[in-house]
């Protein structure tokens, strides 16, 4: 055996089981918890960075999917939900309890960049403070807000009185860096044609180039988490997910909640309903990607141009199919725990024919898009090698969905953490190694093709489904009360990426804590990485290529 070539036996095996992980972490683990989705390790507040670094470097948990904070009667708790980009079914939760009187915990930001915003949100809504955090400010609520709305002692009825002088000059002396500074501060948004909603990008320009950039979010915060905590599992929560990513990706969002709640309460979903769910979700994905491509073209082209209208025209066909299926065009409210709300519309043949017509016309439409967009040399000059997001950076920010796949990260929960009917069907995960604006656009266009493949197979299956086996919903108790203190974090592949839901049950028919991990929230964090040093138009293009929906960022 030569010394230069280490053999297989010399490489330490990556810890796999919970026991191995516990051994790896050693005495940093003060207690163990068991979440439905993953083993949980309780660590002390000053061991957070150590623990996460060990898990990332020695056990391969390179994806900090979400940070959940919550308050119990006797303590605050932060949960770091870790996954692997290679295998998202391999999960682990790091639970960090902090005392009620002094909820201070170490920040995970030095290990995972994505923790920056997640911890700011935890501080903002729950009130946990993070030491070492580079910029611990409120993120969703105004900076003048009093109290932390999701903490136990928060008084909703207390009016938020903000004296006028605090808002007297929101521009803070024009942000001048100094008399001799040759940079210029520009507010891009919250009302700007290219911010896709009420996003506020604080931009410092050096000439036309971006010297510094900071996204300011929260303008569309609608207390979605709290509303879900006040609704019953069985009926009242399901309409809300439609409102997160409202770009007609509703059914994908509903599925995120359905999946988490069904796994929490051990509900079965009939196979027939799974096929319908799969088909309708992919229809939603096409609608969402069409709009993403259209608005991206709008950002790069300028005015209302052919691409945008063509994309909306084709999206309209999907919307018509979804309307036939669900009765709604935007807020579908179609899924139910244990199934879907109703069967396919009668006459079924007409519905299948309409769907098939759409699928038949799709290749031609996509060809047109490729001619107009991806084949256009000016567009290529504008998007290739701009807004570069290297895969390592993308992983550190927890980027998922087309943003990650455009950076060559082969990560798609539909395949890697199969749910619904996806693993029975024949389709591919699309990735592109370009890491730039063009790749993200290209990945979306190709994903539309894959979604069409999935829909076609689902239609075939549904057409041949025996009439007496069409169960659309399993038997679900009228009042759903999962046993107390079960915790689950489950994610699905939504149009924008990994949409995760954390639910802690408290024995009642309403969740004790309901946390939404929005893919746009994590993806948007990568904007400074992509844009700094580039020109304003490239920043706009990068923002368009991220395909954020502010309803989902702000929740």
Q: How many residues bind another protein (CB under 8 A)?
A: 32
**Binding string, residues 325-364; x marks residues near another protein by CB under 8 A:** ----------------------------------------
User: What is the footprint of another protein within residues 516-535 (CB under 8 A)?
Assistant: 535
* DSSP 8-state secondary structure symbol assigned to residue 483: P
Q: Would you mind telling me the total number of residues written for the chain in this entry?
A: 555
Answer for which of 303, 364, 464, 468 binds another protein (CB under 8 A) is 303
Q: How far is the CB of 373 from another protein (least distance, A)?
A: 8
Answer for which of 301, 334, 419, 427 binds another protein (CB under 8 A) is 301
Q: How far is the CB of 549 from another protein (least distance, A)?
A: 17
Q: Which stretch binds another protein (CB under 8 A): 77-85, 142-150, 273-281, 308-316?
A: 308-316
**Could you tell me which of 136, 157, 131 has the C-alpha nearest to residue 146?**
157
What order of strands is seen across the sheet that includes strand 184-188? Answer: 184-188, 200-206, 209-216
Tokens of 452: 């069409």
**Binding string, residues 161-190; x marks residues near another protein by CB under 8 A:** -----------------------xxx----
Q: How far is the CB of 193 from another protein (least distance, A)?
A: 5
- DSSP secondary structure, 447-470, as one string: HHHHHHHHHHHHHHHHHT--GGG-
Tokens of 178: 């100094």
193 binds another protein (CB under 8 A): yes
**Could you tell me which of 472, 509, 507 has the C-alpha nearest to residue 269?**
472
202 binds another protein (CB under 8 A): no
Backbone angles phi, psi at 340, to 5 degrees: -125, 170
From residue 473, alpha-carbon distances to 80, 233, 279, 423, 452 in Å are 34, 16, 16, 21, 25
Q: How far is the CB of 311 from another protein (least distance, A)?
A: 11
Q: Are 260 and 517 in contact (CB under 8 A)?
A: no
Q: How far is the CB of 313 from another protein (least distance, A)?
A: 6
Q: Are 270 and 471 in contact (CB under 8 A)?
A: yes
Q: How far is the CB of 299 from another protein (least distance, A)?
A: 5
Q: Are 526 and 437 in contact (CB under 8 A)?
A: no
Answer for which of 232, 333, 374, 376 binds another protein (CB under 8 A) is 376
Alpha-carbon dihedral of residues 423, 501, 490, 391, nearest 10 degrees? Answer: 80
- Pinpoint the alpha helices (H) of 140-201: none
297 binds another protein (CB under 8 A): yes
Nearer to another protein, 187 or 232 (CB): 187
C-alpha to C-alpha distance for 187 and 114, rounded to whole angstroms: 24
Answer for which of 299, 417, 436, 529 binds another protein (CB under 8 A) is 299
Q: Which stretch binds another protein (CB under 8 A): 34-42, 56-64, 248-256, 375-383?
A: 375-383
User: What is the footprint of another protein within residues 81-100 (CB under 8 A)?
Assistant: none
382 binds another protein (CB under 8 A): yes
Name the residues that contact another protein, by CB under 8 A.
184-186, 192-194, 208, 297-306, 308-310, 313, 372, 376, 378-379, 381-382, 535-538, 540
């Amino acid at each position: 055996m030569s010394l230069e070539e280490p053999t297989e036996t010399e490489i330490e095996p990556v810890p796999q089981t919970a026991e191995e992980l516990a051994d790896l972490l050693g005495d940093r683990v003060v207690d163990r918890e068991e979440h439905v989705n993953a083993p949980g390790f309780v660590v002390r507040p000053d061991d957070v960075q150590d623990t996460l670094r060990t898990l990332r470097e020695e056990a391969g948990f390179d994806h900090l999917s979400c940070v959940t904070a919550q308050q119990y009667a006797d303590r605050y708790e932060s949960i770091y939900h870790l996954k692997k980009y290679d295998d998202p079914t391999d999960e682990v939760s790091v639970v960090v309890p902090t005392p009620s009187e002094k909820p201070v915990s170490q920040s995970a930001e030095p290990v995972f960049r994505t923790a920056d915003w997640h911890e700011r949100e935890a501080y903002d809504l729950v009130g946990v403070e993070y030491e070492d955090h580079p910029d611990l400010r409120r993120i969703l609520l105004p900076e003048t807000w009093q109290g932390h709305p999701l903490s136990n002692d928060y008084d909703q009825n207390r009016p938020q009185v903000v004296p006028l002088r605090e808002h007297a000059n929101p521009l803070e002396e024009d942000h001048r860096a100094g008399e001799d500074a040759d940079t210029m501060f520009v507010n891009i948004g919250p009302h700007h044609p290219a911010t896709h909603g009420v996003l506020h990008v604080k931009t410092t320009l050096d000439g036309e180039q971006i010297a510094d950039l900071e996204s300011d979010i929260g303008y569309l915060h609608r207390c979605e988490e709290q509303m879900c905590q006040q609704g019953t599992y069985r009926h009242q929560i399901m309409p809300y997910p439609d409102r997160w990513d409202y770009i007609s990706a509703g059914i994908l969002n509903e599925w995120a909640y359905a999946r988490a709640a069904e796994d929490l309460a051990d509900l079965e979903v009939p196979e027939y309903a799974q096929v319908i769910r799969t088909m309708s979700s992919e229809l939603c994905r096409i609608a969402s990607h069409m709009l993403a491509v259209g608005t991206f073209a709008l950002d790069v082209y300028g005015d209302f141009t052919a691409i945008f209208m063509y994309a909306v025209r084709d999206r309209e066909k999907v919307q018509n199919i979804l309307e036939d299926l669900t009765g709604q065009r935007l807020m579908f409210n179609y899924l139910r725990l244990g199934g879907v709300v109703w069967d396919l519309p009668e006459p079924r043949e007409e519905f299948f024919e309409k769907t098939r017509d759409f699928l038949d016309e799709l290749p031609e439409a996509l060809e047109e898009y490729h001619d107009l967009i991806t084949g256009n040399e000016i567009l290529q000059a504008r998007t290739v090698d701009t807004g570069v997001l290297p895969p390592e950076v993308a992983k550190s920010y927890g980027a998922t969905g087309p943003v990650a796949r455009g950076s060559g990260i082969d990560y798609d929960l539909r395949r890697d953490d199969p749910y619904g009917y996806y693993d029975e069907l024949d389709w591919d995960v699309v990735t592109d190694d370009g890491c730039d604006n063009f790749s993200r656009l290209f990945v979306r266009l190709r994903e539309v093709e894959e979604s069409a493949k999935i829909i076609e197979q689902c239609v075939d299956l549904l057409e041949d489904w025996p009439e007496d086996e069409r169960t659309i919903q399993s038997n679900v108790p009228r009042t759903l009360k999962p046993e107390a203190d079960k915790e689950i974090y489950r994610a699905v592949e939504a149009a924008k990426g990994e949409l995760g839901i954390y639910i802690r049950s408290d024995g009642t028919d309403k969740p004790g804590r309901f946390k939404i991990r929005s893919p746009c929230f994590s993806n948007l964090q990568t904007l400074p990485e992509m844009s700094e040093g580039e020109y304003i138009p490239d920043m706009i293009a990068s923002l368009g290529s991220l395909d954020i929906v502010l309803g989902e960022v702000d929740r």
